[in-house]
Every structure is written in structure tokens, then in C-alpha cells.
């Protein structure tokens, strides 16, 4: 094992991998000569009891697909033997890429690392705790081949605790569907498949991996779902709890804001600001009329609280307008610095002629 470990460390530093089937394209990344069509991304955190079994099942299923594939296995700062086992697997199978994070960054960050290193045209993500059955993978791939951009798993028949998992999850999924406008039943599962060009356009941070379908819908992605098996954890300790469900409600507010006002923040803050300014101005106008009709009235004694409320509303409204304008400047700076377009192109079709023959050419982005 010491020899295998030294070989892998040599690859990570930029050395040549000593087999004829593997070529080093850039530092920290190794690939087979046959480019993968499918990339399976699996994050692990303290899953030493499940690593080997999951690899064997994934290998068996994907070899039956009869298409080039790669396994991108991400160690999210495990404190047990998870990375050592992943390293051993990568040493004997050139289709396996292991990405080791320096510490535990969380599931979303681990998935983002896997997506960044995946090179397949289609990317499938799943958990590393064996609660996702690899035998369901062909159903995802079939939907991707039909032309869908995102395929989401649906735990149609759940076997979790009713009060601790199923009921809170059902409420959260219902709210996500209503607020995002994406009509799927199960946002929470990691078991999803994507086209590479779609997942590349979605920034992942915090715990946003649950909302990838909602964010993808902003880019016009076509989304469907397939039923998957809900399997009990066989070994190891679950990393999910009831507190995770409650944190989702805060993420919902973020997603709702991003989907509607990501490129036009002034419409949100400006609307609130104008409401405050108009309401405060109306209160001030009424108080001014009262003062003009009764010059001897002590306004602070008679209507002091109303006067303060009106003034605060006007100042708060001006501040909200200023925040909206600052947001617009940030959006403008973001697009101008990256030279990114505020749209996503699926394909460009044009009529091309060559030596008198008209051809219909199609360029996909």
C-alpha cells in the first residue's frame, strides 16, 4: 500500500501516472484516454464501512451500461479511514478520481468539488451511505438520453420516521415547489442527474444543492423526476437530523429572492422603499394639515408617536432605495467583469452554403 500511496501522491504533484492507459492532462487530475460520457459524483464523510461496497455496486451497474464512465469520489474531510480506502480504489482503477478536501466543508461544497472535476457529458450525484441504490442509475440515464436537462430522484415510498423525517420533509418539499415553481415531489434527495452544461452554470454554496432544480429552471432547463428506492442505512451513522429540515426554510427565502430578483434587485428593494416613502409622506402630509388648521396644537404631545413613525418610514424607504441601487451596481459589475451574458443559449441554427449547396448547420453551446 505504501507503493500505491506514493504513486498517487506523485500524480497529485504533477508526475506521470505509470500506466499506458492514463494520461496526466493537468496537475491534480488524471484521465483515461477514452473520455467519459457519464460522471458519477459521490461525496463521503466518515463512511469507511460503505466505501468498498458502494464502489463495487457502482462498478457493476456502470459496466452494464456499456458506455465510458468515471467515478468522482470526494472525501469531505473524513476523520476515519474513508480516504485511505478511496486511495486504494483509485490505485487499481483508472476510472476512479478521488478528490480530498482539506476539511469538512459540507455536502454542497463536496458536490461542487466533484462537479468541478467531473468531465463527463452527463453528471449524476448520489450519497455515499448506500441509501441510494445504484440499480436506479439506468433510469436516470434513460431520461437524460430522452433530452431532459435535470432528472431528480423521487423517494415515492419512504420508510423513514413519520414525525421526524417524512412529515417535515413533505411540508418543506411542498413549500419549495410552490415558491420555486418547479413541480417535483422531492427536492431533498441528492440522487439527481444533470447535463454538464446545465450544472456548470449553477453556483453552489451553503446548502444550495437541494435547490439545483429550482436554480436550473431559471436557465430554462427541462426537469423531470423518476421514482427511486428508499433504502435503510445498513452501516454507519446518519448525518441527517431534524434540525437540517428547519434550516431549509431559511434557504427557501434565499431561493425565492434569487429566482425573482437575482438580476434586478432594485425591483425588490425599490418596491419596499417606495412603500415606506409614500406611507411616511402621507402621514407627514396629514400631520401638516392638522398643524395648519390648528396652529396652537403641540404636535409632539398630541401625535408624537405617529410623527416618529412617519419620519422613520421615509428614512427607511430612502435607505431601501439606496440598497437597491447598490445591488444594481453589483449586478452590473458582476456581468461586466466576467463578460457573461444574462441568458443561456441552447443552440444556434444557421443556413450555410458551400459550393452552391445549402446546408442547415447547428452549433450547440
Distance CA 70, CA 63 (A): 11
pLDDT at 58 over 70: yes
Helix (H) or strand (E) holding 206: none
Is 361 a member of any domain? no
Q: How many domains does the chain have?
A: 2
Both 82 and 188 in a single domain? yes
Both 181 and 140 in a single domain? yes
Both 194 and 271 in a single domain? no
Both 129 and 187 in a single domain? yes
The closest alpha carbon to 182, from 145, 137, 148, belongs to 148
Distance CA 197, CA 362 (A): 17
Is 84 a member of any domain? yes
Both 124 and 147 in a single domain? yes
> Of 164 and 267, which is predicted with more confidence?
267
Count the Cβ atoms, other than its own, within 10 Å of residue 57. Answer: 15
Residue 92's pLDDT band, with cuts at 50, 70 and 90, is: very high
Both 276 and 239 in a single domain? no
Q: Domain residues for 134?
A: 34-261
Is 146 a member of any domain? yes
Alpha helices (runs of H) in 126-262, residue ranges in sequence order: 137-146, 167-180, 196-199, 212-218, 242-261
Last residue of a domain, one of 211, 243, 261: 261
Both 330 and 208 in a single domain? no
- pTM for this prediction: 0.69
Distance CA 19, CA 15 (A): 12
Distance CA 135, CA 342 (A): 39
Is 110 a member of any domain? yes
Both 244 and 277 in a single domain? no
Both 271 and 313 in a single domain? yes
pLDDT at 51 over 90: yes
Both 252 and 153 in a single domain? yes
> Tens of pLDDT along 96-155?
999 999 999 888 899 999 999 999 999 999 998 888 999 999 999 999 999 999 999 988
Is 131 a member of any domain? yes
177: left (phi over 0), alpha (psi -120 to 50) or beta: alpha
Q: What is the CATH number of the domain that holds 159?
A: 3.90.550.10
Distance CA 228, CA 140 (A): 10
The closest alpha carbon to 219, from 266, 176, 262, 190, belongs to 262
Say if CB 176 and CB 208 are below 8 A apart: no
Is 42 a member of any domain? yes
pLDDT for 100 = 92
Distance CA 298, CA 78 (A): 69
What single DSSP character describes residue 236?
Answer: S
The residue written with cell numbers 457519464 in the block is: 38
> Tens of pLDDT along 221-270?
899 999 998 777 666 566 555 556 566 677 777 777 877 887 888 998 99
Count the Cβ atoms, other than its own, within 10 Å of residue 197. Answer: 16
Is 25 a member of any domain? no
Both 331 and 314 in a single domain? yes
Instruction: Quickly count helices (H) and strands (E) in the chain.
Output: 11, 11
> Tens of pLDDT along 281-304?
999 999 999 888 888 888 788 888
List all residues 6 or more positions away from 18 whose beta carbon is below 8 Å from its beta carbon.
Answer: 7
pLDDT at 77 over 50: yes
Is 19 a member of any domain? no
Both 220 and 239 in a single domain? yes
Amino acid at each position: 500500500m505504501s507503493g500505491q500511496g506514493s504513486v498517487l501522491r506523485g500524480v497529485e504533484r504533477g508526475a506521470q501516472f505509470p500506466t499506458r492507459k492514463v494520461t496526466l492532462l493537468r496537475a491534480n487530475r488524471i484521465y483515461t484516454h477514452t473520455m467519459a460520457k457519464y460522471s458519477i459524483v459521490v461525496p463521503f464523510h466518515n463512511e469507511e464501512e460503505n466505501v468498498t461496497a458502494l464502489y463495487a455496486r457502482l462498478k457493476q451497474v456502470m459496466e452494464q451500461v456499456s458506455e465510458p464512465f468515471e467515478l468522482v469520489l470526494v472525501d469531505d474531510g473524513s476523520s476515519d479511514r474513508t480516504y485511505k480506502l478511496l486511495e486504494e480504489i483509485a490505485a487499481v482503477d483508472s476510472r476512479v478520481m478521488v478528490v480530498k478536501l482539506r476539511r469538512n466543508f459540507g455536502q454542497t461544497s463536496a458536490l461542487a468539488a466533484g462537479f468541478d472535476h467531473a468531465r463527463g457529458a452527463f453528471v449524476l450525484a448520489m450519497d455515499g451511505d448506500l441509501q441510494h441504490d445504484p440499480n436506479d442509475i439506468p433510469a436516470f440515464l434513460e431520461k437524460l438520453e430522452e433530452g431532459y436537462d435535470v432528472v431528480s430522484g423521487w423517494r415515492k415510498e419512504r420508510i423513514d420516521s413519520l414525525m421526524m423525517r417524512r412529515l417535515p420533509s413533505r411540508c418543506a418539499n411542498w413549500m419549495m415547489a410552490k415558491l420555486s415553481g418547479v413541480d417535483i415531489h422531492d427536492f431533498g434527495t441528492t440522487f439527481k442527474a444533470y447535463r454538464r452544461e446545465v450544472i456548470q452554470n449553477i453556483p453552489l454554496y451553503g446548502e444550495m444543492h437541494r435547490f439545483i432544480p429550482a436554480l436550473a429552471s431559471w436557465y430554462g432547463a427541462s426537469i423531470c423526476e423518476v421514482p427511486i428506492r428508499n433504502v435503510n442505512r445498513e452501516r454507519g451513522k446518519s448525518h441527517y437530523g431534524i434540525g437540517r429540515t428547519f434550516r431549509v426554510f431559511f434557504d427557501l427565502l434565499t431561493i425565492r429572492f434569487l429566482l425573482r430578483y437575482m438580476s434586478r434587485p432594485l425591483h425588490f428593494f425599490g418596491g419596499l422603499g417606495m412603500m415606506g416613502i409614500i406611507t411616511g409622506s402621507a402621514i407627514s402630509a396629514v400631520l401638516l394639515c392638522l398643524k395648519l388648521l390648528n396652529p396652537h396644537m403641540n404636535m409632539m404631545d398630541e401625535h408624537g408617536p405617529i410623527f416618529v413613525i412617519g419620519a422613520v418610514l421615509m428614512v427607511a424607504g430612502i435607505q431601501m432605495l439606496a440598497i437597491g441601487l447598490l445591488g444594481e451596481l453589483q449586478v452590473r459589475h458582476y456581468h461586466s467583469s466576467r463578460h457573461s451574458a444574462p441568458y443561456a443559449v441552447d443552440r444556434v441554427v444557421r443556413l450555410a452554403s458551400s459550393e452552391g449547396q445549402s446546408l442547415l448547420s447547428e452549433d450547440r453551446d
